[in-house]
Amino acid sequence: MEAEYNHKNIEAKWQAEWENQGLYKIADMVEGKQNYLTLVEFTYPSGNLHVGHWYAFTVPDIFARYKRMQGFNSLYPMGFDAFGLPAENAAIKLGEDPKTWTYEHMNKMRTQLCSMGTMFDWSREVVSCNPDYYKWTQMMFAKFFENDLAYRSNTKVNWCPNDMTILANEQVIDGKCDRCGSVVEQKNQEQWMLRITKYADRLIGDLENLNWPDSIKEAQKNWIGRSEGSEIGFQLVSDLPPTPSQGRGEAPGYITTGSRLYKELYEKALEMRSNPTQAEEALWKELKSNKQGVHFRRQHIIQNFIVDFLCLSKNLIIEVDGDIHDLQKERDEERTKILESLGYTIIRFTNNEVIENVDNAVRNILEKIKELGDAKVLPLGEDLGEVSLADVKIFTTRADTLFGVTYAVLAPEHSLVQDLKEKISNWTEVEKYIFDTKNKSELDRQQNKEKTGVCLKGIFAVNPANNERVPVWVADYVLAGYGTGAVMAVPAHDERDFEFATKYNLPIKEVIEKPKYFPDSKPYTEYGIVKDSISWMDGLLSQDAKKEIVEELEGRGLAKEVKTYRLRDWGISRQRYWGVPIPIVYDPQGTAHAISAEHLPWLLPTDVDHKPDGTAPLARSKELFERTEKIFGKGWTPEVETMDTFVDSSWYFYRYLDPKNENEFCSKKKMKAWLPINLYMGGAEHTTMHLLYSRFWTKALHDLGMVNNTEEFTIRRNRGLILGPDGEKMSKSKGNVIDPDEIVERLGADTVRMYLAFMGPYGVTTNYPWDPNGVVGIRRFLERVWRFVAKNVSGKNNIDEPVWLSPAGRPEDPRKDSFLPETFNSRSIHKTIKKVTEDIENFKFNTAVSALMICLNDFEKSENISIEDIKVFLQLLAPFAPHMTEELWHTLGESKSVHLSTWPKYDESKIIDESFTVVVQINGKVRDEFIVGIDVGEEEVKNMALVREKVKKWLGGAEPKKIIYIKNKLVSIVV
RNA sequence: GCCGGAGUGGCGGAAUGGUAGACGCGCACGACUCAAAAUCGUGUUUCGCAAGGAGUGAGGGUUCGAGUCCCUCCUCCGGCACCA
């Protein structure tokens, strides 16, 4: 045995030897062994291994090796996610063919990966760009198509102008392309979609039983974004002049809007607001700066009343004198003129009446209406005999605020906007607004959140709860893709609506108490008292109120409870070359047909210039078109788009189980043997992408009868990143990149593996900085192990007889009690077995390494260590440092691989200490400690504590009130 | 803003409600050496000569006892975000 640890020789030697032996070739089934599948995400053949790869692959390898030694038939597979943009872009840059580039880099990376000393079973390698792999990707897509899980749709898509392709929502980060960072544009385009939304509920529900971190579960739920609410029908009406003779006539009560009068007054009010006096301006300012301004709110409500009550009747105007703010006075003359010319009566309340108590003011108003007797108010839509132009469904989770609606908003893309353009008097303005919004990039939308919108003049929406007529706006703060693309705006209870209403001077109406009226029931609103501080999204309104309102409207067919999702269907079309061709052909009429299994794989053509120009390169393939016509007939054309690579990675793990199968993507038998996957370790960046897609894929395959399970990833743990020594993300520009090849060359793969395991707990998303000194510390440890074995073992490696390394410590009969000699070290090794085993189970590789270090420290201090103990130690170290331990294992006379040996078991009786340190606390502070034997009883220990000098001193003669004894730990004395 | 997670020495990090700082790095001193490196040994939260005191982001609370449990707040990291 060499005196010095030479990692280069050892690692090269054993990697070759293992390869020779086929040590890591794992059978599908082994008699008497349970299968255990440890999965890590297969890798992109970027062409160069970085520290991140080492962290991702070598630490889970420790786990897989440990499981194997524990007696499991442990599989740890690897493959290449070989289609996709980076490879393609790199190839283009170098003027190469993506295929050549990819295969070259895969070869290079395979060699690099082998240098890690992992137990990857390369006989099961999966390469997503191989036709015998993507054949199955295509087959699955075709099945999805036939079962309405794949469809073509013209939607707004995220377009990356640099990569010249569509991106999925998941691939847009902060409005930028997640690959190249370009600002993503919005574009309308046809593309292939997968109906992941159909699985939204199951994707949420099935999270329940997965052993995944809560953070991932929450993130997925969040991403899917289910919210439960109601869809409520609002009628859209035009503003035809009123026809007083029609309608319900006698029903007394409160109405607000409707009729030409409303229109006139509403517009007048708007004008007032858009062209305010100084006093009004001051008020708006106050509103904007002090959202909870009571003073304002009061006044504001009054103002709303003014607007509303202005419209109370055909011949009655009720007005609150607002001269305290100089608001109304100024306008009085003008308004009175208009009103009187229309033949209205004006009733005026003094400002004091209102300001003192708004509630009373309201009541007074109502009283006065009653007194007048003939003040008749007609519900809109009925009395006017207006024709409904259209129904618009809005989505809300706050149906309880229905009585606070003061306007409605349609998304600019909403189809009704186009449908009603004849009725919209300011169409030019509206059209321009829509055009402008369309051209906003995703980034613009996200960064510039100043609300904008245009009123659809000539159209009103009718609130079904109270038949109130409210104006309709288009605004891009309402998203076309969410809910129904239309909302009811309740500025008093929604911050966004509030902001918008404030900007455009729209009324704000607060619903304070449970609303009590519908057109058919008690006809007034309880506005209640405005409290001093009410927040915007207050929780004042109960679930009951919500339920009541929705039920009432449901009864009239105007509402229904619905669930809506943030999740969009998955757009998989890519206008790029290096991907799976979508297996669809179009007949001469343009109807899409899935390509049947006999023609799969539907090969990626090679006769194209694949430089991206925004159109699909496959469209330029003569061969592809000829092939299509040849097989399907004249006039048939191929689909020219390729698939998102997340499709490839959605099912790759199935293929590991049956990589050579030509008839099925994976036999059911093999699935049954290996699935579900026991452990899936990977990067946090896949939380709402790969992990979600893949779960969907499995469920879809399951529903099509193609796989057994609905979830395949039993345990998932996300890992963090390895940062540069400066604590920053590694990047060339920062010059903090650690090159693993260089470190492996200098210190060895075992050192790097073990250092990565030692950095901190695995399976949490903490990022750890690479410490160049820290890694040397691990190297030192391995050298110490080497020297320790070399020093003690030379010439004494007879494995039949436990060898006592120090003659002085040799006992009479080393096998008296067990096959392991009874020594201090025996206890030490048993403790270490326990600790390392438990820590690996919990992915706490760092403390497992620490336990091994402590064990070696003990060994070095000790006089006599048996060969058996050393061997156990090597076994425990083997998953971490597979090469070195293999070498030493053989040095100790073993002929079979240490990695095939059985994980040692500890003996509980060997771990128990004979004595322990009792800590004495007095009033919670540690004052003394002493050692007692394991079998000393509670009373005795307490008494021993009480008579100790230090304890007496601290007690100062005081009588203990209470003495608490914790077995084998402490005595706590309370005075 | 919402949802997760985390705040412990100079650093990475340890601690079933029971001696805070295991293990490693770094640093200091010592041994070996002509010397250096390597290696080995000793020490290393902080204030204090000591006895002793303080100490796990801040402030409260529960407890004989809190890094750990509860409440309020602050900071950092990750995810989502005009989602009605």
What is the full DSSP assignment across A81-110?
A: ---SHHHHHHHHHTT--HHHHHHHHHHHHH
Residue A593 has pLDDT above 60, yes or no: yes
Most confident of A270-279, A359-368, A435-444, A504-513: A435-444
Query: How far is the C-alpha of A257 from the C-alpha of A378, rounded, in Å?
Result: 9
| Nearest CA among A365, A378, A366, A384 for reference residue A252 | A378
Does strand B come within 7 Å of the CB of A73?
Answer: no
What pLDDT is recorded for position A807? 36
Does strand B come within 7 Å of the CB of A395?
Answer: yes
Average pLDDT of the residues in A887-896: 91
A753 or A268: which carries more pLDDT confidence? A753
Most confident of A25-29, A374-378, A530-534: A25-29
A508 or A964: which carries more pLDDT confidence? A964
What pLDDT is recorded for position A436? 86
Query: How far is the C-alpha of A164 from the C-alpha of A174, rounded, in Å?
Result: 18
What pLDDT is recorded for position A278? 52
Most confident of A666-675, A719-728, A757-766: A666-675
Do strands A469-475 and A407-410 pair parallel, antiparallel, or not at all (unpaired)? parallel
Q: Is A732 annotated as a binding residue?
A: yes
Nucleotides of B strand lying within 7 Å of any protein CB atom: 3-5, 11-16, 18-20, 22-26, 38-41, 52-53, 64-66, 77-84
Q: Confidence band (pLDDT; 50, 70, 90) for A140? A: very high
Choose the weakest-confidence range: A214-218, A797-801, A930-934: A797-801
- State which residue has its Cα closest to the C1' atom of B6: A766
Q: Confidence band (pLDDT; 50, 70, 90) for A950? A: confident
Which tokens in the block code for residue A859? 């060994």
Amino acid at A660: K
**Model pLDDT for residues A100-131, shown as the tens digit of each residue:** 999 999 999 999 999 999 999 999 999 999 99
Most confident of A234-243, A509-518, A529-538: A234-243
CATH of region A915-974: 3.10.20.590
Instruction: Please measure the distance between the N-terminal and C-terminal CA atoms of chain A and give it in whole angstroms.
Output: 64
pTM: 0.82
CATH architecture of A259-371: 3-Layer(aba) Sandwich (3.40)
- State which residue has its Cα closest to the C1' atom of B4: A215
Output the distance from A324 CA to B32 C1' rounded to whole Å: 96
**For strand B, which residues in window 492-531 of chain A come within 7 Å by CB?**
494, 496, 499
Average pLDDT of the residues in A852-878: 89
- State which residue has its Cα closest to the C1' atom of B64: A974
Output the distance from A874 CA to B37 C1' rounded to whole Å: 30
Q: Confidence band (pLDDT; 50, 70, 90) for A702? A: very high
Does strand B come within 7 Å of the CB of A425?
Answer: no
Which tokens in the block code for residue A397? 């989770």
A973 CA: nearest nucleotide by C1': B64
| Nearest CA among A920, A692, A854, A906 for reference residue A210 | A692
Output the distance from A747 CA to B11 C1' rounded to whole Å: 22
Alpha-carbon dihedral sign for residues A952, A955, A959, A961: negative
Q: Is A880 helix (H, G, I), strand (E, B) or coil?
A: coil
The fold of A393-538 is Isoleucyl-tRNA Synthetase; domain 2 (3.90.740)
**For strand B, which residues in window 452-491 of chain A come within 7 Å by CB?**
452, 476-479, 481-483, 485, 487
Give me the helices (H) in A275-378, please: 278-289, 294-310, 329-341, 351-356, 358-372
High-pLDDT (> 70) share of chain A, %: 76
Average pLDDT of the residues in A44-68: 93
Does strand B come within 7 Å of the CB of A291?
Answer: no
A970 CA: nearest nucleotide by C1': B18
What pLDDT is recorded for position A803? 41
Choose the weakest-confidence range: A394-408, A541-555, A884-898, A923-937: A541-555
Q: Which helix (H) or strand (E) element contains residue A868?
A: helix A867-877
Alpha-carbon dihedral sign for residues A693, A695, A700, A705: positive
- Domain regions of chain A by residue span: 133-198+570-646, 259-371, 393-538, 792-910, 915-974
What pLDDT is recorded for position A879? 97
Alpha-carbon dihedral sign for residues A100, A106, A107, A112: positive
Output the distance from A849 CA to B30 C1' rounded to whole Å: 29
Dihedral Cα A387, A389, A394, A398, nearest 10 deg: -20
Does strand B come within 7 Å of the CB of A961?
Answer: no
Output the distance from A535 CA to B68 C1' rounded to whole Å: 37
Output the distance from A113 CA to B10 C1' rounded to whole Å: 36
Query: How far is the C-alpha of A162 from the C-alpha of A328, rounded, in Å?
Result: 57
Assign 3-class secondary structure to A190-227.
EEEEECHHHHHHHHHHHHHHCECCHHHHHHHHHHHCCE
CATH of region A792-910: 1.10.730.10
Does strand B come within 7 Å of the CB of A733?
Answer: no
Average pLDDT of the residues in A463-468: 75
Q: How far is CA A292 from CA A326, A356, A500, in A?
A: 22, 19, 16
Does strand B come within 7 Å of the CB of A768?
Answer: yes
Query: How far is the C-alpha of A761 from the C-alpha of A170, rounded, in Å?
Result: 28
Burial of A194 (0-12, 13-18, 19+ CB in 10 A): buried
Output the distance from A391 CA to B5 C1' rounded to whole Å: 46
A119 or A352: which carries more pLDDT confidence? A119
List the helix and strand counts (H, then E) for chain A: 33, 32
